[in-house]
Amino acid sequence: MKSCGSMLGLRGLRLPPAGILLLLPFLQPRLLPAAPAPHRASYKPVIVVHGLFDSSYSFRHLLEYINETHPGTVVTVLDLFDGRESLRPLWEQVQGFGEAVAPIMAKAPEGVHLICYSQGGLVCRALLSVMDEHNVDSFISLSSPQMGQYGDTDYLKWLFPTSMRSNLYRICYSPWGQEFSICNYWHDPHHDDLYLNASSFLALINGERDHPNATAWRKNFLRVGRLVLIGGPDDGVITPWQSSFFGFYDANETVLEMEEQPVYLRDSFGLKTLLARGAIVRCPMAGISHTAWHSNRTLYEACIEPWLS
């Protein structure tokens, strides 16, 4: 009779002792169902809009930070109106950026986040006003002159070398001047009547001048989930720096904070309503210059990352 080893084709092989064989069923690893993969949160898409004389390349550090802290997030840094093209009238830019963000929003039923830097913050605020069905959760305004600009900067000296802030209104409040983006938000506190009559952009989105779309724009703006305002005293470009928080000069060049501004008191485009529902976050930070806001890691972790749900 053949041995068990022969019948199983094991002739010549050295078998383990019988005691070990008896223990094998208990020594073999048990095959358990694979543990489910840890759930990765699905983050809302992020859309980034650059500022004056910028391009998408300027935001490479911000893109890196988002990828590190929120892996898998779809981030789109819009590459439109770069460099000198950023001087184009802001309504033209609003149209161009609007055509770019609409399909991104359409593919994100749970909403998107906007990070808008400097002049781009005004473009984004206008987008929120004119887009009837936008689904912006967090609008992060990164050192943006939301109440306008009134200061001599290198940008102005390059663009208008023979003008100072005291007489720039002569250019900016003309039809020719309004063809330059920076004049669309030039806000001279000493010539308020001229500003209100001539401003083809800021006075309209602020609701400071009557127009037939004012009610609809306010309703659209209030669709935003959260308004995050970021800026600081060492910016060096935004003047006054409190404009990043909807503060601005009065006729004596004393800064009045947001709650003292007529646009807030009248709730002309929704600021007072947003604040009342707890939807405005203010994040001031010292020690950051204007060109460093989108590359400062500390600022990102404190003021941007918490709102990228």
Enzyme catalytic residues: 118, 235, 290
90-106 helix and 119-130 helix, angle to the nearest 10 degrees: 60
Note if the bond before 25 is cis, omega within 30 degrees. no
Place of tokens 């309209």: 204
Contacts of 190 (CB under 8 A, 6+ apart): 166, 169, 251
187-224-117 Cα angle (round to 5): 45
- What element of type H or E holds 49? strand 46-49
Region class of 9: left (phi > 0), else alpha (psi between -120 and 50), else beta: left
Q: How far apart are CA 235 and CA 213, in angstroms?
A: 34
